[in-house]
Amino acid sequence: MKRWSVSLLVAAILSVGLVAQSGAAIEVEGDAYVGVFDKYLWRGFDLSGSLPVVQGGADLSTHGWTLGYWSNWQLKSDDGEGLNAGEVTETDIILSYAHDCGDLLSVTVGDIWYQLEGAEDTNELFINATINTLLAPTISMYWDWDAAEEEGLYFTFDVSHSLEMMENLTLNLGALVSYNLHSDYSIGDYSGLHNVEASVGLDYALSEQFTISPSFVFSTPISSAAKDAIDTETLAGVTLTFTF
């Protein structure tokens, strides 16, 4: 009941936002994407038993609002972890609103509804703020207001940079550090630094609408509590994106 109440509230806010902008033409843009990865790695956790997965989704955006869909498909079975080949282990529905506060600061707020196979579904409210300058430093806060029993807060700070290598080819570099504050349902019931990640990827434009993107991520725990929860991991994959 609580989840549906919040969903109705968000829908109402979205309706008000669109009505307020009814004088402007509603133009929708978006993308659809699918990728193959050697595992499902989320916040340092290996959620696929180190087995390959397919991940795909789509986003629709208008006037700062974005509605997103994302799913994870298990490609191989792991009986020990209760994972079955061909099973959709997670589906996320994301609703967010982005706003530029002048030229220097961009802010996004939203909610992620996690629909999980074999575990309790949950919701996270999030807000992130990006300074539009060198390395695009971004701080994000996630609040599990649904399944978490304590604070349910998780923070990240990341920087990124894109470099055009040649026509149609872009190199993307990134680094992230995270902090957990008793997000006891999804991360762990502790307070401390969680993990650090480094990422590298390429975007190659096959055409004006299609882009292929190989990527690699390295993740390692920081605090002793995090080391009890996660291991050092790597993630490799390739994604095909269609933009419209």
Q: How confident is the model at residue 80 (pLDDT cuts 50, 70, 90)?
A: confident
Tell whether the model's pLDDT for residue 2 goes beyond 50.
no
Q: Structural domain boundaries of the chain?
A: 2-18+30-243
pLDDT tens by residue, 9-35: 455 445 545 544 555 567 899 999 999
Structure tokens at 232: 């050092």
Beta strand 138-144 with 233-243 is: unpaired
Structure tokens at 228: 């009890």
What pTM was computed for the model? 0.89
**Cα–Cα distance, 210 to 33 (Å, whole number):** 9
Q: How confident is the model at residue 229 (pLDDT cuts 50, 70, 90)?
A: very high
Pick from 148, 236, 235, 195: which is nearest to 44 by CA? 195
Tell whether the model's pLDDT for residue 81 goes beyond 50.
yes
**Cα–Cα distance, 158 to 176 (Å, whole number):** 4
The average pLDDT across 149-153 equals 96
Number of H helices, E strands in the chain: 2, 14
Query: Which CATH superfamily includes the segment(s) 2-18+30-243?
Result: monomeric porin ompg (2.40.160.40)
Phi-psi region of 74 (alpha: psi -120 to 50; beta: other; left: phi over 0): beta
Q: CA–CA distance from 242 to each of 36, 213, 215 (Å)?
A: 15, 11, 17
**Cα–Cα distance, 77 to 85 (Å, whole number):** 5
Q: How confident is the model at residue 8 (pLDDT cuts 50, 70, 90)?
A: very low
**Cα–Cα distance, 137 to 124 (Å, whole number):** 22
pLDDT of residue 16: 46
